[in-house]
């Protein structure tokens, strides 16, 4: 049987369209790869029966082509609903829950012809950038099985890194498309808020911190999946409409101008080797003719953090407060969820309004940076993948972390402002572990960021190197 692991999704799509490859052959190759590696990493969960998936692939071969994903296997992140599959959010409270319908972006992926084979693992309710939960267990980093895969899109990132999937969805509230991408040597993109609508949100007007987005081993696949997921929906307010086809990644005509924020002027504790790895990537960008300048912090990191933690806790508390009020359910919540709900319930209306004002001020300040630069660069994480037996890092280079998520502070600037950000593979540290580099652009610059990423990929192809991986 021919092995199709690690082939680009668009290449597989072209081969299926031309008849050089059948969906059944691709499905059998996919299932063989999952059987070979998933037991070690635990990235794919709720896998449908083999005979059912092979039958679906045969049907795809016999039916007219429905879109570019026709016959392509994909697994959906466990935080999203895919009809007929588990919908646990990684929580024992919902351990037996099965989705009755597709979320909007899942329906779009299915309509484009993808065969949904199962789910990808995620942390309980997506909290904390470490993919473990009491329902499905821990997802392991393929570059060191004792280390975290990141999260919350950790299962998706590992499935891509190990060749079990060619394309994957994820979601990003606090770096969940960027941190695991960086830690698994793949690409992840948080799109401009509103580009990928959420028609299932209980509140559609206030809840503007999280978004769904794509992950892939190359930017062209990333762009193609984002094109499929994106698009206004009449049930969702505040749409952001792109004027270009995101998969049309034309070559850059001008050298990108990158502003390097590093550790935000010393405000963000960073583990040894992280900045150096990112700076080596930036030096390579300069050698490619790109402009890279160090940038002074444009805004108070403490103010951004305070605004973020208040708004995040308030939104989480409003959605999940009944679980804390029910003693039986509270006992099943991870400490991070209890922390968020209790903090959110303790906030006053004035504190929430003040946090929103800070958010607005940061958005305006960030906009000024983009008058000089096409993108602002930050590491995708402040630490290397940590011990998978831990819930989270408690310190960074001697700096104690005061919350379960303080070590993820570097991803907050893009999330708070709703800006697009792509995580590029930046290379490997002396420890043999991968690291990512965030490129954050102005609102609506998704296509430009994807073009920059495509040029970087053509020069480096870090995902194609895969040293010392399972």
HEC sequence for 165-189: CCEEEEEECCCCCCHHHHHCCCEEE
Segment 165-177 shows an average pLDDT of 98
Quickly state the pLDDT bin for 445 (edges 50, 70, 90). very high
Q: Which domain holds residue 369?
A: 9-305+350-464
Q: Residues 165-197, buried b or exposed e (16+ Cβ, 10 A)?
A: bbbbbbbbbbbbbbbbbbbbbbbbbbbbbbbbb
pLDDT digits (tens, 9 = 90+) for 227-271: 999 999 999 999 998 766 677 788 888 999 999 999 999 999 999
What is the model's pLDDT at position 467?
A: 62
Helix (H, G, I), strand (E, B) or coil at 413: helix
Instruction: Take residue 12 and report the two structure tokens written for it.
Output: 């597989």
pLDDT in tens, 172-214: 999 999 999 999 999 999 999 999 999 988 999 999 999 999 9
Could you give the 3-state DSSP secondary structure of residue 424? strand
> What does the pLDDT look like over 13-48, one tens digit per residue?
999 999 999 999 999 999 999 999 999 999 999 999
Q: pTM of the predicted model, to two decimals? A: 0.98
Residue in 154, 221, 151 with CA at minimum distance from that of residue 6: 221
**Do you know the residue count of the chain?**
470
Tokens of residue 327, six digits: 């003693």
Tell which phi-psi region holds residue 62, choosing left (phi > 0), alpha (psi between -120 and 50) or beta.
alpha
3 occurs within a structural domain = no
Cα 27 to chain center, whole Å? 24
Q: Residue 1: pLDDT band by 50, 70, 90 thresholds?
A: confident
Whether 144 is covered by a domain: the verdict is: yes
Residue pLDDT, tens place only, 267-311: 999 999 999 999 999 999 999 999 999 999 999 999 999 999 999
Residue with tokens 């984002």: 226
Query: For residue 320, is it within any domain?
Result: no
- Start-end of H helices in 42-103: 50-62
d(CA 184, CA 325): 38
What's the distance, CA 326 to chain centroid? 32
User: Using CA atoms, how far apart are residues 9 and 258, in angstroms rounded to an integer?
Assistant: 29
- CB–CB of 369/382 below 8 Å? no
* Residue 444: exposure state from Cβ atoms within 10 A (0-12, 13-18, ≥19): middle
The pLDDT of residue 245 is 67
Going by C-alpha positions, the residue among 163, 151, 162 that lies closest to residue 188 is 151
Q: Single out the residue of 211, 141, 276, 244 nearest to residue 411, CA to CA.
A: 211
**Burial of residue 329, with CB atoms counted within 10 A of its CB: 0-12 exposed, 13-18 middle, 19 or more buried:** middle
At 167, give phi and psi (nearest 5°).
Answer: -155, 150
| In contact, 123 and 174? CB cutoff 8 Å | no
Residue 156 CA to residue 80 CA, distance in Å, equals 12
**Rg of the chain (C-alpha set):** 21
Q: Cα(315)–Cα(44) distance, rounded to whole angstroms?
A: 29
How far apart (Å, rounded) are the C-alpha atoms in residues 228 and 72? 14
Q: What is the mean pLDDT of residues 124-131?
A: 97
How distant is the alpha carbon of residue 438 from its chain centre?
A: 12
| Domain membership flag for residue 317 | no
In a domain, 313, yes or no: no
- CATH number (domain holding residue 74): 3.90.1300.10
Q: What is the pLDDT of residues 326-362, one digit of tens each?
A: 989 999 999 999 999 999 999 999 999 999 999 999 9
Report the alpha-carbon angle 367-179-80, nearest 5.
Answer: 95
Interatomic CA distance for residues 276 and 282, integer angstroms: 10
Helix axes 50-62, 23-41, angle to 10 degrees: 150
pLDDT, one tens digit per residue, over 63-111 is: 999 999 999 999 999 999 999 999 999 999 999 999 999 999 999 999 9
> Does 140 fall in a domain?
yes
DSSP letters spanning 114-182:
-EEEEEE---GGG-SSS-EETTTEEPEETTEEEEE--SSSHHHHHHHHTTS-SEEEEEESSSTTTHHHH
Give the number of C-alpha atoms closer than 13 A to the C-alpha of residue 435, restricted to the C-beta side: 28
- Chain-centroid distance of CA 379 in Å reads 14
Q: Name the helix (H) or strand (E) containing 363.
A: helix 349-369
Whether residue 278 is contained in a domain is answered as: yes
Report which of 174, 178, 142 is spatially closest to residue 158, judged by C-alpha positions. 142
Query: How many domains are there within the chain?
Result: 1
- Residue 175 counted as domain residue: yes
């Amino acid at each position: 049987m021919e092995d199709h692991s690690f082939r680009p999704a668009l290449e597989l799509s072209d081969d299926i369209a031309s008849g050089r490859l059948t969906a059944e052959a691709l499905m059998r190759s996919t299932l063989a790869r999952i059987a070979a590696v998933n037991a070690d990493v635990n990235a794919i969960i709720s896998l449908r029966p083999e005979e059912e998936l092979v039958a679906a692939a045969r049907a795809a071969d016999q039916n007219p082509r429905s879109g570019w994903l026709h016959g392509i296997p994909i697994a959906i992140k466990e935080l999203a609903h895919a009809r007929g599959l588990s919908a646990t959010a990684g929580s024992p409270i919902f351990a037996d829950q099965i989705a009755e319908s597709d979320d909007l972006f899942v329906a779009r992926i299915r309509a484009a012809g993808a065969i949904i084979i199962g789910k990808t693992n995620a942390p309980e309710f997506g909290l904390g950038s470490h993919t473990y939960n009491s329902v499905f267990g821990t997802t392991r980093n393929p570059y060191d099985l004792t280390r975290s895969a990141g999260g919350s899109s950790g299962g998706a990132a590992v499935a891509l890194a190990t060749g079990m999937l060619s394309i994957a969805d994820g979601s990003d509230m606090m770096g969940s498309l960027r941190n695991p991408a960086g830690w698994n040597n793949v690409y992840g993109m948080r799109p401009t808020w509103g580009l990928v609508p959420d028609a299932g949100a209980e509140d559609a007007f206030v809840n503007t911190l999280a978004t769904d987005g794509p992950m892939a081993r190359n930017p062209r696949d990333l762009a193609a999946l984002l094109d499929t997921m994106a698009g206004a929906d009449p049930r969702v307010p505040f749409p952001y409409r792109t004027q270009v086809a995101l998969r049309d990644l034309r070559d850059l005509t001008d050298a990108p101008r990158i502003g390097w924020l590093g550790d935000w002027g010393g405000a963000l504790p960073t583990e040894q080797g992280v900045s150096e790895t990112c700076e080596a990537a930036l030096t390579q960008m300069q050698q490619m003719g790109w402009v890279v300048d160090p940038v002074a912090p444009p805004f108070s990191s403490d103010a951004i953090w305070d605004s973020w933690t208040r708004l995040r806790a308030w939104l989480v508390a409003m959605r999940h407060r009944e679980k804390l009020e029910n003693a039986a359910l509270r006992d099943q919540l991870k400490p991070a969820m209890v922390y968020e709900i209790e903090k959110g319930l303790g906030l006053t209306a004035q504190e929430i309004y003040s946090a929103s004002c800070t958010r607005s001020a940061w958005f305006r300040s960030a906009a000024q940076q983009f008058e000089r630069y096409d993108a602002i660069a930050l590491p995708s994480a402040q630490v290397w993948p940590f011990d998978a037996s831990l819930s989270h890092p408690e310190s960074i280079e001697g700096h104690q972390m005061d919350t379960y998520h303080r070590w993820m502070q570097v991803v907050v600037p893009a999330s708070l402002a709703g800006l697009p950000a792509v995580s590029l593979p930046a290379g490997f540290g002396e420890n043999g572990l991968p690291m990512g580099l965030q490129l954050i652009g102005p609102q609506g610059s998704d296509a430009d960021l994807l073009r920059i990423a495509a040029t970087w990929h053509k020069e480096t192809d870090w995902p194609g190197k895969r040293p010392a991986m399972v």
